[in-house]
């Protein structure tokens, strides 16, 4: 017999914070709040197995913080640490959640430890509330479609490149058939509001929440970002505005609502968790001369793109390439000792949650969509999706060998080898095939 509980907490900072997600401008402190950042908490129990899923409207939630929250939830709620998923939606309009920007990543050097302490407390209390108020429940998982035809999502490196238009939805109802919880998954960077914006917002996921809450304000709606490493609205959006974020959020939510209406709900699904840690392979760090040459090549490309007044999407791709090349130049200049801090994100935890015959796979990194497509194709379970930026974070993108040959932002600035994506999928498939 399934029992479930849901709750939510506001986690918006109550003081001006530097917003994370874009390298410039370096004084991007928030001046107002458009919509509150939220922690959405879901609790599931069947027999002796208890599971907690938390989604946070933050750019990331570090491995160290995940460990801290898991330990407290185990002590106060009795839920095993390895039965807890903490996913960040990866909004680029929320506070810095790691080390000081413009320095090298180091889990041990947080910019806002007080803010993150408060987030941890709210998560723990949210799961406590969800467990205390658990009710007899039934659950279902399925997918819909929202892609280019709807003007949503797509590949940011190549307009016609690989994409994943699947809208995954996990829905929880009580025994009176009332919808109580919804968890949506979609592979798209939350970057409709760009670097010029100094407003706190969850970006398009905020409108997924709003769409459902307009019908029932007590409904708890969470969001997990899919394999969005190379997925954004760059080639498809009509603007970088709240109106466009709303259009996309409502389109995804509307499809999720349609899927829910067609799902078969199970009141006695087997709950299952498993996980495995892997140490991601690192790529060769170039010499200072090699890194400098790549940096200068990217800067020339950006300059020429601007001179030729190329379309925004192409100029933006060159801007991002320059960011990546500059990052690797700084790594090469700092020397290998800088990797010590960057590797506080390792090892990667590959996590599998089973709900009946459905599987959710979580990874900590920003990973290219090709790997999620491979995972779904080779999974022994029909319903399998991947959630990124979960149970930790990465110190760079997990990209494809093809993108490394092409160059560009993601492979240029990453410390990981081009084999890591397959290392992750292989580990996930090993867990799925047990």
β-bridge partners, 361: 352, 386
pLDDT of residue 39: 99
Same domain as 204, residue 303: no
pLDDT of residue 106: 75
Angle between helices 242-262 and 204-213 (to 10 degrees): 50
Same domain as 245, residue 173: yes
Residue 55's domain comprises 2-270+367-384
The backbone region for 158, taken as left when phi is positive above 0, alpha when psi lies in -120 to 50, beta otherwise, is: beta
User: What distance in Å separates the CA atoms of residue 98 and residue 386, rounded to the nearest whole number?
Assistant: 23
User: What distance in Å separates the CA atoms of residue 425 and residue 427, rounded to the nearest whole number?
Assistant: 5
Backbone phi, then psi, for 281, in 5-degree steps?
Answer: -70, 145
β-bridge partners, 40: 8, 55
Q: Does residue 232 belong to any structural domain of this protein?
A: yes
Residue pair 49/82 in contact by the 8 Å Cβ criterion: no
pLDDT of residue 102: 60
Same domain as 298, residue 252: no
Same domain as 155, residue 117: yes
Angle between helices 312-334 and 288-307 (to 10 degrees): 160
Same domain as 233, residue 136: yes
Low-confidence residues of the chain, pLDDT below 50?
Answer: none
Same domain as 35, residue 116: yes
Q: Does residue 392 belong to any structural domain of this protein?
A: no
Domains in the chain, number: 2
Cα-Cα-Cα-Cα torsion 341, 99, 399, 331, nearest 10 degrees, comes to -50
Q: Does residue 358 belong to any structural domain of this protein?
A: no
Residues written for the chain: 434
For 155, 371, 376, the CA distances from 429, given in Å and listed in that order, are 25, 12, 10
pLDDT of residue 99: 84
Residue pair 1/268 in contact by the 8 Å Cβ criterion: yes
Output the pTM of the full model: 0.95
User: What distance in Å separates the CA atoms of residue 104 and residue 152, rounded to the nearest whole number?
Assistant: 33
Q: Does residue 347 belong to any structural domain of this protein?
A: no
Same domain as 222, residue 123: yes
Residue pair 76/184 in contact by the 8 Å Cβ criterion: no
Q: Where are the beta strands (DSSP E) in 47-90?
A: 49-56, 84-88
Within its chain, how far is the Cα of 84 from the centroid? 16
User: What distance in Å separates the CA atoms of residue 366 and residue 228, rounded to the nearest whole number?
Assistant: 7
For 52, 59, 130, 158, 212, the CA distances from 7, given in Å and listed in that order, are 11, 21, 5, 39, 15
Within its chain, how far is the Cα of 51 from the centroid? 20
Same domain as 307, residue 175: no
Same domain as 320, residue 183: no
Q: Does residue 351 belong to any structural domain of this protein?
A: no
User: Exposure string (b/e) for 218-254, b if CB count within 10 Å is 16 or more?
Assistant: ebbbbbbbbbbbbbbbbbbbeebebebbbbbbebbbb
Same domain as 169, residue 39: yes
Backbone phi, then psi, for 150, in 5-degree steps?
Answer: -95, 5
Same domain as 131, residue 81: yes
The one-character DSSP state at 258 is H
The one-character DSSP state at 420 is H
Same domain as 241, residue 321: no
User: What distance in Å separates the CA atoms of residue 148 and residue 203, rounded to the nearest whole number?
Assistant: 19
């Amino acid at each position: 017999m399934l029992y479930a509980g849901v709750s939510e907490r506001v986690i918006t900072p109550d003081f001006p914070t530097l917003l994370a997600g874009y390298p410039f401008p370096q004084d991007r402190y928030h001046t107002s709040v458009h919509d509150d950042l939220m922690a959405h908490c879901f609790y599931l129990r069947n027999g002796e197995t208890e599971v907690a899923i938390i989604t946070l409207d933050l750019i990331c939630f570090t491995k160290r913080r995940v460990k801290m929250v898991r330990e407290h939830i185990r002590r106060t709620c009795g839920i095993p640490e390895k039965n807890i998923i903490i996913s960040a939606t990866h909004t680029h309009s929320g506070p810095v959640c790691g080390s000081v920007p413009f320095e090298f990543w180091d889990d041990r050097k947080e910019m806002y430890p007080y803010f993150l302490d408060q987030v941890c407390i709210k998560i723990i209390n949210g799961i406590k509330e969800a467990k205390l108020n658990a009710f007899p429940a039934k659950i279902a998982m399925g997918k819909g479609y929202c892609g280019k035809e709807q003007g949503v999502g797509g590949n940011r490196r190549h307009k016609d490149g690989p994409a994943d238009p699947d809208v995954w939805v996990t829905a929880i109802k009580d025994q009176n058939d009332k919808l109580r919880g919804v968890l949506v998954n979609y592979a798209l960077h939350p970057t409709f509001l760009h670097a010029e914006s100094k407003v706190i917002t969850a970006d398009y996921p905020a409108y997924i929440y709003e769409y459902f809450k307009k019908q029932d304000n007590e409904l708890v709606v969470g969001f997990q970002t899919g394999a969005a490493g190379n997925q954004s609205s760059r080639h498809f959006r009509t603007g970088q505005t709240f109106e466009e974020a709303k259009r996309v959020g409502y389109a995804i939510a509307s499809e999720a609502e349609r899927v829910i209406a067609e799902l078969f709900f199970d009141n006695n699904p087997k709950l299952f968790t498993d996980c495995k840690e892997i140490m991601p392979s690192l790529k060769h760090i170039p010499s200072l001369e090699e890194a400098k040459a790549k940096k200068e090549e990217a800067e020339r490309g950006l300059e020429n793109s601007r001179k030729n007044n190329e379309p925004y999407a192409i100029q933006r791709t060159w801007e991002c390439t320059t960011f990546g090349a500059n990052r690797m130049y700084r790594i090469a200049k700092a020397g290998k000792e800088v990797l010590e801090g960057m590797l506080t994100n390792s090892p990667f935890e590959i996590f599998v949650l089973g709900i009946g015959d459905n599987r959710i796979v979580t990874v900590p990194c920003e990973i290219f969509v090709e790997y999620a497509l491979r995972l779904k194709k080779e999974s022994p379970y029909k319903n399998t999706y991947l959630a990124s930026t979960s149970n930790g974070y990465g110190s760079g993108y997990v990209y494809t060998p093809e993108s490394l040959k092409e160059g560009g932002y993601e492979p240029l600035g990453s410390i990981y080898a081009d084999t890591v994506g397959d290392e992750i999928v292989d580990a996930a498939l090993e867990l799925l095939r047990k």
